[in-house]
Amino acid sequence: AIWNLGSINIDMVYALPHMPEPGETLAATSFDQGLGGKGANMSVAAARAGAHACHIGAVGPQGTWTVDRLTEYGVDTRHIARIEAPTGHAIIAVDPAGENQIILFPGANRALTEAQVGQALSAANAGDILLLQNETNMQAEAARIGRQLGLRVAYAAAPFDSDAVQAVLPDLDLLFLNEIEAAQLEQATGTLPQNMGVKDVIVTLGAKGARHYDGQTGVVTDVPALKVVPVDTTGAGDTFTGYVLAALDRGMPMVQAMGLASRAGALMVTRHGAADVIPDLKEVQNAKF
């Protein structure tokens, strides 16, 4: 199983005639609401890829439909706490050129407790995967608990936060970075990500594919991207991560898992939206590129 300590957001998307000026009141021309948050995206991707994905997180009173949506997509939602804090949400303004401005309120996503994380993980089995990102609190505590329980601890360093990465680093088995995050981590520490003592490091490179660094053998393997016409890159990295872990969880070798994930990532960039449009395993296997 995959235990994903992750964010759940309500994405509220407003189309505007132009970005609002200070002091301006501006009517939106359309409104769309969807499930978002890196954590939720990764849980949906792992579940759609066929894994047993248990989401650990929290939502407030307005978040019931997000949990229903996760359940619908096959995510195990038993460890999502219902609390009084507002559900995490993003207010996304989009102008006619497709440029966006985002206000993010973490809310319930940053109100997790060590007791909740510990209780959820007490149901995990050694060899299960624990996944973390930076849109919640409790990552370092979870990584430590996960390591003690014999879980494989994976971490996507997004959104990048140098202190958060360094706090979980000693307990990591698998580190996911995109190209920018890899550069930021190197700049913050003076060390290349592949030289930080983590067993597996994966750097995703958008249309240039992804690269795996084997921390034990030093072997570097490139996995090419597929040729597609991108319309919206939202969620490509999250989908890639969820797919890699789902494949590893059922015993697929790393490079093969990344090949499958790159097909899923390629499909994602041809679609508008995030969690709601993540393809399932059949679609990914049957897609023609």
Closer of 85 and 175 to ligand ADP (Cβ): 175
Closer of 16 and 207 to ligand ADP (Cβ): 207
Between residue 158 and residue 187, which ones bind ligand ADP under the rule CB under 6 A?
178
Residue environment code for 125-141, b if the CB has 16+ CB neighbours within 10 A, otherwise e: eeebbbbbbbbbbbbbb
User: Residues 76, 173, 200, 238: which is the catalytic one?
Assistant: 238
Is 209 near ligand ADP (CB under 6 A)?
A: yes
163 is catalytic: no
Stretch of residues binding ligand ADP (CB under 6 A), selected from 24-32, 53-61, 224-232, 271-279: 224-232
Is 205 near ligand ADP (CB under 6 A)?
A: yes
Closer of 107 and 265 to ligand ADP (Cβ): 265
User: Three-state SS string across the chain, please?
Assistant: CEEEECCCEEEEEEECCCCCCCCCCCCCCEEEEEEECHHHHHHHHHHHCCCCEEEEEEECHHHHHHHHHHHHCCCEEEEEEECCCCCEEEEEEECCCCCEEEEEECHHHHCCCHHHHHHHHCCCCCCCEEEECCCCCCHHHHHHHHHHCCCEEEEECCCCCHHHHHHHHHHCCEEEEEHHHHHHHHHHHCCCHHHCCCCEEEEECHHHCEEEEECCCCCEEEECCCCCCCCCCCCHHHHHHHHHHHHHHCCCCHHHHHHHHHHHHHHHHCCCCCHHHCCCHHHHHHCCC
Q: For the window 65-94, what string marks contact with ligand ADP as x by the rule CB under 6 A?
A: ------------------------------
User: Cβ-closest residue to ligand ADP?
Assistant: 237
Closer of 207 and 255 to ligand ADP (Cβ): 207
Is 262 near ligand ADP (CB under 6 A)?
A: yes
Tell the smallest beta-carbon distance from residue 81 to ligand ADP (Å). Answer: 27
Work out which of 83, 245, 269, 284 binds ligand ADP, going by CB under 6 A. 269
Work out which of 3, 73, 240, 243 binds ligand ADP, going by CB under 6 A. 240
Annotated binding-site residues for K(+) read: 232, 234, 268, 271, 273
| Residues identified as active-site | 238
Site for ligand ADP, rule CB under 6 A: 178, 204-207, 209-210, 225-226, 228, 230, 233, 236-237, 240, 262, 265-266, 269
